[in-house]
Copies of this chain bind each other. A is one copy, B any other.
Amino acid sequence: MAVATQSLEELCINSIRFLAIDAVEKAKSGHPGLPMGAAPMAFVIWDRFMRYNPKNPKWFNRDRFILSAGHGSMLQYALLYLAGYDSVTIEDIKQFRQWESKTPGHPENFMTAGVEVTTGPLGQGIANAVGLAIAEAHLAAKFNKPDAKIVDHYTYVILGDGCNMEGVSGEASSFAGHQGLGKLIALYDDNHISIDGSTDVAFTEDVSKRFEAYGWHVLHVKEGNTDLDAIAKAIEEAKSVTDKPSMIKVTTTIGYGSPNKANTAGVHGAALGTDEVKLTRSNLGWEYEPFVVPQDAVNHMRKAVERGAGYEAEWNKAFDAYKAKYPQEAAEFERYISGKLPDGWDQVLPTYTAEDKALPTRKHSETCLNKLAAVLPELIGGSADLTHSNLTEIKGKGEFQKGQYQNPNIHFGVREHGMGAICNGIALHGSGLIPYGATFLIFTDYMRAAIRLSALSQAGSIWVMTHDSIGQGEDGPTHQPIETLASLRAIPKLTVIRPADGNEASGAYKVAIERAKQNAPTLLAFTRQNVPNLAGTSIEGVTKGGYTVVDSEGTPELIIIGTGSELNLAVTAAEKLTAEGKKVRVVSLPAWDLFEAQDAAYRESVLPKAVTKRLAVEAGTSFGWHKYVGTEGDTVTIDRFGASAPGGVCLEKFGFSVDNVLAKAKALLG
């Protein structure tokens, strides 16, 4: 297949292919995902369709491009370089997969401008893309006017067999079909090879038929290695169908152009090797040295810079007109994309006294969400089919559904993982929207990969988790979190807050909203059952992560640390001990990482090193608590699975009673 002369487009595509080959060869690391088959479709998207501005990667109205098959990251870096982004130079490409390079092993939005989301864990990218498309649809429905479309872009995705095997992609795709997200266009790189070899060993379903079943518009390009016009035609057709997302199956050859490794898993899991690279160069008629790209290709693709400036100028003009005509909406829109909160927004958060009625903290969460929604219309989200258990409905605002995308209440269905990745996509749209997703705390297990990615990829999602302990009750151990809080607290950059009452629920939302605007996620854990409002709790206390709720006169002999529904046990026990003449402090520790972020003096003031008699009370595992109770302290915790019984019975039986706290406290006091 020696190619004597190459068209300009072929030259560009081969530039992508050989940049990837050369970078992978230099890095000599496994699983490089050479984009030999995917380069043509990516090129067609970027060169013939996509509107973006390389010199302003965050230009609001850009089309979004997601490489869901993130192991092919060099495809994206080559595109960024060729299209004229400043974020990726040829030197960066030579540093592929090296320490602190702009070209890490998988696309990371926080490392490389022009990368929208972080992919690599399979299936996340396509699910993020559903979130991006939802953000676009929502903002368009909210801000566009019959005479002014200021929000109007497509979301393009390339995904592979691996993505399509993952359940999360199924969940999100089913949801996208339900919502009829017409501006979501996914190109499925159908190359029949995954790491274990031919997909025949594990994946023989009819993917196209499955997407049809989801309600997608499905197309097929039979010769994806070379037939650029067929790819372009399919994308045109996809754009013409506006009430369904489109899935274009593009049949390609993995390792296309490699005489001996094309169409094998070898090219998926390892670099080609010097000899095969030579043969591939010869086979594709590529006479350029490693990392050398023909100037014609660069010149052609860099036209994106001029085009991009034009798109942006045009949009700016349109927005100016919009602003003149619709100043109020324009101001709101500008606030959205500025990432700023309106002045005084947090004044709506309620506070409580000990006289206020005992309520479940999930009920306080509902109050906060609804009060906040009135001043923060950028809140958008919902539950994975537990709306009336999680209490996450924004009342009077309607459902986000096909034809009514302006509404904020999303019914995600029983799709926790998809919900997580979709929320991350909404956050990473970068338009100021604050997504939230809700389920029972235990089912964070279903969406943990998405929660982790929210923390890693700086997505300001809010995870609203209710039924946060064995107090959940009758549903039994499958539904009762034990180790869940610990397992979430261990995730870097994820703030986990377990509020004790109404004030702390308000504090939790204050933190979560502020963090969301700083592109950081927060997970909130609320009770199913009633808890009393406590005298010493405060919003400010929560923002510090930990604080003294009840203090002793003089240096305490004992510190009881509580969180959530158990803080009131700590307070009651302390009252009894104080009445007996003991010096007992109660510390509320709703957010460990926020407490750790305080200065040493503050931490010492709350938990003085000298006071080693410490008792932690939390209806969850003891795992992790030794950091605070030390070797001389103790815990009232539960290190076994729960049981099906009324919540109060479970709590009592497992030792979450004032009596048991008192007994353990007295044992410590000696």
Contacts and interface: CB of A to CB of B under 8 A. Distances in A.
B214 A205 contact: yes
A515 interface: no
Contacts of A375: none
A228 interface: no
Contacts of A621: 490, 492
Contact of A203 (B166, B178, B201, B401): B178
Interface in A116-133: 118-123
Query: Looking at A162, A413, A415, A653, which has the most chain B CB atoms within 10 Å of its CB?
Result: A413
Nearest to A440: B121
Nearest to A451: B445
Interface in A478-530: 478-479, 482-483, 486-493
Contacts of A488: 487
B118 A478 contact: yes
A566 interface: no
Given A170-B167, A204-B178, A490-B623, A385 B196 contact: yes
Contacts of A101: 644-645
Contacts of A583: none
Contacts of A70: 478
A199 to B, nearest CB: 8
B388 A195 contact: yes
Nearest to A475: B105
Given A177-B205, A194-B414, A641-B456, A165 B99 contact: no
A129 B470 CA distance: 28
A476 B169 CA distance: 22
B483 A196 contact: no
Contact of A492 (B105, B383, B474, B640): B640
Given A104-B643, A645-B97, A215 B204 contact: yes
A362 interface: no
B476 A105 contact: yes
A72 to B, nearest CB: 13
A355 interface: no
Nearest to A622: B627
A478 B453 contact: yes
A209 B205 CA distance: 12
Contacts of A612: 631
A473 interface: yes
Interface string A214-237: 110000000000000000000000
Interface stretch (A4-12, A24-32, A542-550, A572-580): A24-32
Given A195-B385, A645-B99, A214 B210 contact: yes
A483 B490 contact: yes
A386 interface: yes
Interface in A439-470: 442-443, 445-446, 448-449, 452-453, 455-456
A646 interface: yes
A64 interface: no
A89 interface: no
A385 B208 CA distance: 21
A57 interface: no
Nearest to A450: B445
Nearest to A208: B213
Given A196-B385, A446-B449, A207 B213 contact: yes
A437 interface: no
Contacts of A653: 99
A403 to B, nearest CB: 13
Contacts of A446: 121, 166, 168, 448-449
A477 interface: yes
B178 A171 contact: no
A392 to B, nearest CB: 11
Contact of A477 (B108, B169, B413): B108
A417 interface: yes
Contact of A476 (B106, B210, B639, B649): B106
A489 B482 CA distance: 12
A601 interface: no
Given A415-B166, A448-B448, A640-B492, A201 B171 contact: no
Given A104-B643, A385-B194, A418 B214 contact: no
Contacts of A643: 99-100, 104
Nearest to A108: B476
Contacts of A209: 209-210, 212-213
21 contacts: A70-B478, A99-B649, A105-B475, A106-B475, A118-B478, A121-B446, A162-B414, A165-B174, A165-B413, A165-B414, A177-B205, A196-B385, A196-B387, A201-B401, A202-B411, A202-B415, A205-B214, A209-B209, A446-B449, A487-B490, A631-B631
Given A98-B646, A443-B449, 13 more contacts: A106-B476, A108-B476, A121-B479, A161-B414, A163-B414, A165-B413, A167-B169, A167-B171, A178-B205, A195-B385, A202-B415, A487-B490, A626-B626
Interface of A: 27, 29-31, 70, 97-101, 104-106, 108, 118-123, 161-163, 165-171, 174-175, 177-178, 194-196, 199, 201-210, 212-215, 269, 383, 385-389, 399, 401, 411-418, 442-443, 445-446, 448-449, 452-453, 455-456, 473-479, 482-483, 486-493, 609, 612, 621, 623-624, 626-627, 630-631, 639-641, 643-646, 649-650, 653
